[in-house]
Structure 1
């Protein structure tokens, strides 16, 4: 399928122009801009229309001896952390011995009932952004970093209240994950990432055999809208080939997810218009004159002028949460600032960066920094190419419904980059029958969001007042959402209590 270079150029301009404040959102913009640059400069294979699961990952060939590794990975205590009763682990899983490719993971067991609660893997997107930086330390992990960059405080709405939670830095070149083969940093892509993530899971489960038969769920946000479904399909494929359950996958949960290029783009501009970020005239011109379909070759001047106008109007806001403050002073403080679970500090990226680059922290979490020729970064500056990126993962969602896999898609409703409008357009394109119509779901008598359930076990849910990183902005509602998902329990209509 031919690349629509004009559309990609417009998007690239939009991403680069908003790269002003070095916060999470802008790091994510930078990562996405690199992907679109790759789509523009590489051959058409970069822009594949459908994802096929990586094959030939036979268990006996890729699983290495894990004897004694679990005990060595146990983290005694993170520097500056408050007391907790659950165990933590961190370390490396070798993905490819000959290439010297190894992925770093951080694992927190459930606060209670770890023997019975499910296992959940969380992936952040980018491509190239760290699940340790965001998922673990700024979103759903048990701790967050104080403004002093050296001490931690508890996240009382951490997801290890609902599951045993595993965070993975993937692919190689992200966070503490590395390869001895420099070409791995240039030749990444959707397919190789799915293959490596699958090999990681097989080996990790060998290291932690008590979780081999445990109910397993995949979750993530943003470009993990590619990672999660692609890994899920790889798991299903190899379970079928082996004629047995190698990984006991039960469902996937993706938030503000990049899942369909065409509808993601149109939905973004429609969101701009419906939230007064651009004028009615600009929004109308984009809708009438721009063609965001993969087959479009060029765009008229009217479309280009309108998208440039949109670009100008959103320059000084964080389009990953249109109502959030920006970070203008990322300097560390001598004493920690007062914290609030209701309002995450917009400068948290700086605090996390400082903390993860401390020598005592890296030693405590077993990070092998001798393999890195750079500082640990929230989003990788090492990855230089992305070889394949599916235009859509909608076919995978349809496939999962055939296998009765639980599929939940959620959206923070103040995110303008991958907004609820984009997600709605993508789900609507599947033409599914509605099982439970659009309705509010409640938390302690207050509307926490809205939901709609489709026949085939697909749920679409919003989280009210949350940006792109839902657990950062609405941690209490995010925890309620994941508890409902893991239990297979519908989000309740207000009329039903």
Structure 2
């Protein structure tokens, strides 16, 4: 056998072994978690789907994992978290950027029909939808004391989940890893990222390949997200309150919260905005007929706005909440959390019937490897069984500075018609970091149209708006969302 032939033979054998090893790695995921069918969907799944529980400390956290349709071995792994606190990440899965669109209008009692979503974020990334903290969505514990938590315990638990998850799926440990979420996940994401970074520095195994994070319409800081910096300028700019009301608030409240004219001025703002869909001021507000008595409507403006920097004490500010959850008119006191709100009916202004029907069907639960209702309880968009100390970690501004100055990329994006967490407050706090502007305010394009605006800062920190989108951006602008998501993950200009 000649020398050249031996080298060629060695090369062929090496390639075959490498291919076999790669095949073995791809198959390393726990096959018992593989989802082979989904009730309501007729067709072949475009990539592998997995579902199941990661269990520790008497907690069972449910995840739904979708392998990227593009290049699983190289595409990033992205963790998705919805807010609340207490809202299920199946909100994102069903209504925003998940793999399916759900056909409405089916006969009562029948499951929705599922069609492939051409703008799913799994087109360009491996994505994990996690129900967190324990007690939310399909996550559960047989020890109900585990349903009492706060920002730090949630971050620690999610970090533990990730370490155990990557042990189950070791083939993805070297992929770039990003943390993402929206609304109250504006707290979940930076606190979790901080926890992960601390673990990396301490050499906790497995070492996660964290590269950065994304936050959509996320709460961040009680001052910047509050009435005066966020809501009032937004409402005035959108033409929702008059010049007179705006000037009245400015003269009586700004820098002088003790002025006796301040609370009445703010009340005028609330009265004017009452009845709007807080998630998107252009959309109608859905009213659940079972949640209303005597023909009364709901106030879509949350009590939380009445607690921000005007008349309420710091304790009440700490207890405010954001997510798919708003009170019925006049029934709730300021400072009410989602678990209390849940006792009064469904999530305000939002129709969650499709997700509720699908995820409470036992055949669906069996298909995705979730426990039945008799064990995990019924699925709710926002859970009423957890007790959560909101804002226990304080302002997120120090966390953003800490993470970005260490080299972690950040994309902060806002639907510009959201009144829940208005872009005005987000724009103000991103600017307040004092970073040098490296990409001056400009429009960005999707489908040959202006899709929004962005400003790029030093330290790979970007603030981006999506034109015409509400609180849950991909729900309103799916094509545009996939565009900025893909470009940002790929490290290309948006």
TM-score (norm 2): 0.77
Alignment match of 1:138 (pick from 79, 82, 95): 95
Partner residue in 2 for 1:177: 139
**What are the within-5 Å matches in structure 2 for residues 72-83 of structure 1?**
72-83=32-43
Describe the SS at the equivalent of 1:193.
helix
The Cα of 1:455 is off from its aligned counterpart by: 1.1
Is 1:301 matched with 2:264? no
Cα gap change, 1:388 to 1:474, in 2 (>3 Å): closer
Partner in structure 1 of residue 122 of structure 2: 160
Mapped partners of 1:246, 1:371: distance in 2: 37
Aligned partner of residue 206 in structure 1, secondary structure: helix
Count of aligned positions: 402
CA deviation vs aligned residue, 1:420-447 (integer Å, no higher than 9, x gap): 1010111121111111100011123210
Matches of 1:482 and 1:303 in 2, distance apart? 41
CA distance in structure 2 between the aligned counterparts of 1:326 and 1:387, rounded to whole angstroms: 26
Cα 1:309–1:387 change in 2 (3 A) is: closer
Measure, in 2, the Cα distance between the counterparts of 1:93 and 1:136. Answer: 19
Shift of 1:226: 0.7
Aligned to 2:250: 287
CA contact (8 A) 1:235 1:247 kept: yes
Larger Rg over CA atoms: 2
The Cα shift of 1:113 comes to 1.7
Match of 1:421 in 2: 424
Contact 1:449 1:464 in 2 (8 A): yes
Q: 2:455 aligns to what SS in structure 1? A: strand
2:175 aligned with 1:207, yes or no? Answer: no
Q: Equivalents in 2 of 1:85, 1:351: separation in Å?
A: 22
Deviation, 1:115, is: 1.9
Higher relative contact order (Cα pairs below 8 Å, separated by 6+ residues): 1
Q: Distance in 1 between matches of 2:245 and 2:85?
A: 30
Contact between 1:172 and 1:179, CA under 8 Å: does it hold in 2? Answer: yes
Q: How far off its partner does 1:490 sit?
A: 1.8
Cα–Cα, structure 1 residues 115 and 348, in superposed 2: closer, same or farther, change >3 Å? farther
Q: Equivalent residues in 2 for 1:68-467 (5 A)?
A: 70-83=30-43, 84-96=45-57, 100-132=58-90, 134-147=91-104, 148=106, 149-185=111-147, 187-242=148-203, 246-265=207-226, 266-290=229-253, 299-328=258-287, 348-369=351-372, 372=375, 374-386=377-389, 389-467=392-470
Unaligned runs of 5+ in 2: 1-26, 291-348
- In structure 2, distance between residues paired with 1:361 and 1:469: 25
SS of the residue corresponding to residue 264 of structure 1 reads coil
CA contact (8 A) 2:29 2:169 kept: no
Kept in 2, the 8 Å contact 1:414–1:468? The answer is yes
Give yes or no for contact 2:356–2:380 (8 Å, CA) kept in 1: yes
> How far apart, in 1, do the equivalents of 2:289 and 2:103 lie?
12
The 2-side partners of 1:310 and 1:373 are apart by 42
Distance 1:129 1:183 in 2: 19
Deviates more, 1:140-149 or 1:102-111: 140-149
8 A Cα contact 2:441 2:454, kept in partner: yes
Structure 1 length-normalised TM: 0.77
C-alpha separation in 2, matches of 1:215 and 1:394: 24
CA, structure 1 residues 69+120, in 2 after alignment: closer, same or farther (shift >3 Å)? closer
Cα displacement (A) at 1:153 = 1.9
Paired with 1:102 and 1:245, the residues of 2 have a C-alpha distance of 20
Q: Which runs of 5+ in 1 are unaligned?
A: 1-66, 332-345, 492-497
Poorly superposed stretches of 4+, deviation over 6 Å: none
